[in-house]
Amino acid sequence: MKLLLPGCALLHGGMPNRVLYLLGSAAPPVLGVGSVVESAQGRGWEVCLGLTPTAADWLEDDLGALAELTGYPVKSRHRRPGDVDQWPPADAALLAPATFNTLNSWALGLTSTWVVGFAAEAIGKGIPLVTMPCVNSAFLAHPQLDRSVEVLRGAGVRVLLGEGGFVPNRPGEGRPNAYPWDVALDEVERV
Ligand SMILES: Cc1cc2nc3c(=O)[nH]c(=O)nc-3n(C[C@H](O)[C@H](O)[C@H](O)COP(=O)(O)O)c2cc1C
């Protein structure tokens, strides 16, 4: 049974659920985020879904159903001053799929999207953070990508890139259905 307490995550059988912020940017695996929400819920997480504005645009027709599935509004924009935050505090956050743009913005501290703003601040708040990029081998060859991964790892973020995480495909050969969401959710359990 689920009970809702003001300002708290839902209770399953009297135990408060751990809260996972699932944050997605605009790479094709984000189109399957609904089933990832369900997987995380099945692992005992209360899930709050955040999207970059571009990812929210791609999922425009599904945003209502995703809000219903999580029980919380889907966030894709910064709040206005005075707006009340309707999400419970995060116990962990998973930023996936992380585009080249979002990953570099995060590492550089360029917080023009809500997702990157949250993730940047979460480092300083000590919230456990996992990210799994979705970048092809051409993006990987850009000199900033290595620097961004190094900066984020140095800040304590678990970056699942390469063997054991997301292995970049060649441009045009992406397989969104093979994006290893389970690896990312397993890592969230570990952090
Ligand atoms: C069909 C399609 C597929 C894309 N796939 C990727 C991808 O796998 N990785 C990536 O970094 N960008 C990809 N992009 C480009 C991003 O969507 C684009 O850079 C966008 O500005 C990212 O915004 P965001 O990081 O704020 O979500 C794709 C774009 C389109 C239209």
CA 52 to ligand 1 centroid distance, Å: 11
CA 182 to ligand 1 centroid distance, Å: 22
**52 close to ligand 1 (CB < 6 Angstrom):** yes
User: What CA–CA distance (Å, rounded) separates 29 from 130?
Assistant: 16
| Torsion angles phi and psi, residue 156, rounded to 5 | 95, 5
Which atom of ligand 1 is least distant from the CA of 103? Answer: 25
Residue nearest to atom 14 of ligand 1 (CA): 27
Residue nearest to atom 19 of ligand 1 (CA): 101
User: What CA–CA distance (Å, rounded) separates 74 from 159?
Assistant: 24
Looking at residue 14, its pLDDT comes to: 53
**59 close to ligand 1 (CB < 6 Angstrom):** no
Residue nearest to atom 22 of ligand 1 (CA): 26
CA 139 to ligand 1 centroid distance, Å: 11
User: What CA–CA distance (Å, rounded) separates 154 from 157?
Assistant: 7
CA 25 to ligand 1 centroid distance, Å: 8
Q: Give this prediction's pTM.
A: 0.94
Nearest to 94 by CA among 2, 182, 28, 31: 182
Domain positions in the chain are: 18-190
User: What CA–CA distance (Å, rounded) separates 165 from 158?
Assistant: 10
Q: Class of 18-190 per CATH? A: alpha beta
pLDDT tens digits in sequence order for the chain, 191 residues long: 343 443 445 555 556 689 999 999 999 999 999 999 999 999 999 999 999 999 999 999 999 999 999 999 999 999 999 999 999 999 999 999 999 999 999 999 999 999 999 999 999 999 999 999 999 999 999 999 999 999 999 999 999 999 999 999 999 998 999 999 999 999 999 99
Looking at residue 7, its pLDDT comes to: 42
